[in-house]
Chain A
Amino acid sequence: EIVMTQSPGTLSVSPGERVTLSCRASQSVSINLAWYQQKPGQAPRLLIYGASTRATGIPARFSGSGSGTEFTLTISSLQSEDFAVYYCQQCNNWPQTFGQGTKVEIK
């Protein structure tokens, strides 16, 4: 089973700042990596798939990069609605696995 490790666990950020979240896989997952956003009381929402392709309706301030074992989700200018928990998921191997999440909170 591939272990996904996200860092940091929590990020305290002010609105307007640039945010970078990291996700590392215990072995290569090629570009088969997805990012999700989850707000309290809501289902997760797909942000990025294929490591760098934005899902339908996702604002351009969200971008993903990486391949192999190292991946990054960047939010170029954090908006108030972006405070949430972010998860990465490797989709390359069965079983698919999620990282433990990074919480982005207001500073």
Chain B
Amino acid sequence: EVQLVQSGAEVKKPGESLKISCKGSGYRFTSYWIGWVRQMPGKGLEWMGIIYPGDSDTRYSPSFQGQVTFSADKSISTAYLQWSSLKASDTAMYYCARARIAVDGMDVWGQGTTVTVSS
């Protein structure tokens, strides 16, 4: 079964760092893009960016460039989204999802990771 399994919910304080994960299984991890999508409470979907684990080619939305970092470890089929200094406004659900070809949309999604940032 093809799936993406994300790490569990996080509660952090402003200024703290965080790295969440997305582990792929049931397919060739290095042959698919992994996209990251933010959904703030009660709001719509926001495309944050995308990484190709095969060669680490990475594209960020300008809205998120410099605010987050994507990475991937091919050896364990896992992609990561990290923050160096969280803000309260980072409170949201974060989804990873895969795309075989970037123009074809994202066909398999993780279950989401809830990040809560509060003092």
Shortest CB-to-CB span from A48 to chain B, Å, is: 8
Interface residues on B, range: 20 to 34
Secondary structure of the A side of the interface? loop
The docked-state distance in angstroms from the alpha carbon of A48 to that of B106 is 10
- Known A-B contacts A43-B110, A96-B47; the reply to A32 vs B59 at CB < 8 A is no
Chain A residue nearest in CB terms to B48: A95
Chain A residue nearest in CB terms to B47: A96
Shortest CB-to-CB span from B34 to chain A, Å, is: 13
Say whether A91 contacts B104, CB under 8 Å.
yes
Say whether A1 contacts B103, CB under 8 Å.
no
Which residues of A does B touch, CB under 8 Å? 1, 32, 34, 36, 38, 43-46, 48-50, 55-56, 85, 87, 89, 91-92, 94-101
Which residues of B does A touch, CB under 8 Å? 35, 37, 44-47, 49-50, 59-63, 95, 97, 99, 102-107, 109-112
> What are 10 A-B pairs with beta-carbon distances under 8 A?
A44-B95, A46-B107, A49-B104, A87-B44, A89-B45, A95-B47, A96-B35, A98-B46, A101-B44, A101-B45
